[in-house]
Structure 1
């Protein structure tokens, strides 16, 4: 969308979102600044913002920052009222903000101008379907696993300072046997001496680890079930397990029409090479953008295929003979895998269908 297709009476709304309040700025169809408004980040505030925007003319689109965090409530509200919402990235700190300054109205105007110029065109994730359920389960599981690992590190670091007899008794045990042995220590509230305190603390950490272990197992089982229901064909791909499949589905979102081609999916995952040519030099550079969690998921799947998938092993041998390094081969394989997995993603309801239902 460009300003050529709009009239002066049209309105573009840019919104800078925060936890407690949102700041909005409106532009006319030719880029003239109209008004600004600050509203609370509540349903009543969203209704006030919508009525304020409608009073100024035909609202073409809302450019909203942070549609996956502070702006998610506003984005949902606008979609329910059949409004076009565009996800806008926050302005860079060094160049644009150095020239234009920094304030909430300035950021809101920047969001509106991105929409008007056509540089922001992506619809935000719907976050109202099965994929959002997957995301929430994965957040809970990942944090439980991280806390479990940290607890084990703390337990072993604490054990280093224990008495020689206690260290000799416990240090040779495997992780699970160590945790089980420490969890059996009695809890003594008196803590009469350092040895008693050591056993008390080891018991507390061990029981915490066991609780987190049980929590992570439960969440992993739920995540597997939901992923299997959402995209069984994706799990059939070699080297793709529930965790990898869930990560890719989360990157795409519930409204998969945001990603219109396998090239767009590859760019989303950060596995497409970026042109870096000039004059007679033709080359590409590494893409360090995109969703890094999805990029990591593709990397793990490629590593599995390089070890067990015969066609991949043959490809690696051929490219190695051509002089390619292992790192370069992995980059190529991630791009090929993105192309393959894109066609296995489940069909999803389009944004237009969601707007029609909301209307």
Structure 2
């Protein structure tokens, strides 16, 4: 087996073939970042029938090349830039650095240190991640437009508008305004434009939710069987997590999501505090599910929360315990769906 290390850049990529048994560099090639050059790289690599590609930062600058190689049947592993840097530091030559050395370091890290992680082809999880990112951007744009509209209505109406304001309610209020002078006329025109913009954003957010629900259903996920998880929450969980099998245990997933309480050394008793590490978007999803279940008297999360309160925990501590329990439940559901390839009911928390 020959390892082909690739050091990707924005405009060029450098590949180095290394024999893992002797750690000897066999050959190297430098290509431009273009499809004809990709094909030249693949032709060059085919001189070694048994090969594996180790792409540095395959989820960043190397994403396009890595996915292109996977689509053509190549085996690709992702090597983090920190791992190649560590190999360069520990190898002879000290801090020497160039593209060929980086490519060889990617090979060494993937083979000898076990830092390479298999790269999977893009699938429904990637599509859901894209839709979730688009939804976040749309929601932020709506918040900005709504804030601007509130500021204008505050100057057009006595006392302004209610905090919870829809586009139709704003249009009804705006029709009561009789501008007196040029300044108020301009304010009313801008407010009318903002209402039209909010209506467009509402339509796009609705379409986005419909697309996410369709993708979640197509993927065979059973996440929505859990109280508090709708199509948007399920899509965000799948999109942010990707392939759940990359987390060997539920504890690893909870740590990745920042749902594992951190122990504090105390002279009186063992206490825990909130973890501020991990994926904050995933943590926000778990927090939302926990809050919803706490407010649902018949949900398993509500019973678990009340049980923790009866044990003497504060409401914040009980909520953190519930988030950790939900992280375990979500991991079990997603990994079961991924392994079996179909939706199966899983017991709640």
TM-score (norm 1): 0.73
Instruction: Provide the C-alpha distance between the structure 1 equivalents of 2:325 and 2:208, rounded to a whole number of angstroms.
Output: 31
Gapped regions of structure 2 (runs ≥ 5): 341-349
Q: Is 1:138 equivalent to 2:132 in the alignment?
A: yes
- SS of alignment partner, residue 119 of structure 2: coil
Contact 2:84 2:105 in 1 (8 A): no
Q: Is 1:296 equivalent to 2:284 in the alignment?
A: yes
Question: 2:56 aligns to what?
Answer: 65
Q: 1:259 to 1:126 in 2, by over 3 A?
A: farther
Q: 1:130 to 1:108 in 2, by over 3 A?
A: same
Which residue, 107, 120, 136 being the options, matches 1:112?
Answer: 107
- 1:69-84 correspondence to structure 2 within 5 Å: 69-84=60-75
The CA deviation string for residues 207-253 of structure 1, in whole angstroms up to 9 with x for no partner, is: 11111111111221222233233245210112211122112212343
Instruction: Provide the C-alpha distance between the structure 1 equivalents of 2:301 and 2:85, rounded to a whole number of angstroms.
Output: 43
- SS of alignment partner, residue 54 of structure 2: strand
Contact 1:302 1:333 in 2 (8 A): yes
Q: 1:297 to 1:347 in 2, by over 3 A?
A: same
Question: 2:193 aligns to what?
Answer: 204
Question: 1:100 aligns to what?
Answer: 95
Instruction: Provide the C-alpha distance between the structure 1 equivalents of 2:98 and 2:222, rounded to a whole number of angstroms.
Output: 47
Q: Is 1:50 equivalent to 2:42 in the alignment?
A: yes
Q: 1:298 to 1:110 in 2, by over 3 A?
A: farther
Contact 1:185 1:203 in 2 (8 A): no
Instruction: Provide the C-alpha distance between the structure 2 equivalents of 1:334 and 1:101, rounded to a whole number of angstroms.
Output: 46
The CA deviation string for residues 64-90 of structure 1, in whole angstroms up to 9 with x for no partner, is: 234334323222222233322112223
Instruction: Provide the C-alpha distance between the structure 1 equivalents of 2:7 and 2:328, rounded to a whole number of angstroms.
Output: 35
- SS of alignment partner, residue 61 of structure 2: coil
The structural deviation recorded for 1:134 is 2.4
Instruction: Provide the C-alpha distance between the structure 2 equivalents of 1:274 and 1:18, rounded to a whole number of angstroms.
Output: 38
- Count of aligned pairs: 325
Q: Is 1:195 equivalent to 2:189 in the alignment?
A: no
Contact 1:91 1:97 in 2 (8 A): no
Q: 1:53 to 1:226 in 2, by over 3 A?
A: closer
Q: 1:31 to 1:216 in 2, by over 3 A?
A: same
Contact 2:174 2:188 in 1 (8 A): no
Which residue, 130, 144, 151 being the options, matches 2:145?
Answer: 151
Instruction: Provide the C-alpha distance between the structure 2 equivalents of 1:344 and 1:304, rounded to a whole number of angstroms.
Output: 19
Contact 2:5 2:105 in 1 (8 A): yes
Gapped regions of structure 1 (runs ≥ 5): 1-9, 187-191, 351-359
Instruction: Provide the C-alpha distance between the structure 1 equivalents of 2:279 and 2:223, rounded to a whole number of angstroms.
Output: 19
Give the alignment's Cα RMSD to 1 decimal: 4.0
Question: 1:230 aligns to what?
Answer: 219
Question: 2:33 aligns to what?
Answer: 41
Instruction: Provide the C-alpha distance between the structure 2 equivalents of 1:336 and 1:172, rounded to a whole number of angstroms.
Output: 38
Task: Judge which range, 209-218 or 258-267, deviates more.
Answer: 258-267
- SS of alignment partner, residue 67 of structure 1: coil
Which residue, 304, 307, 310 being the options, matches 2:295?
Answer: 307
The CA deviation string for residues 237-291 of structure 1, in whole angstroms up to 9 with x for no partner, is: 12211122112212343x55444554444444343568999xxxx9999765544
Q: 1:303 to 1:172 in 2, by over 3 A?
A: closer
Q: Bigger relative contact order, structure 1 or 2, given CA contacts below 8 A and separation 6+?
A: 1
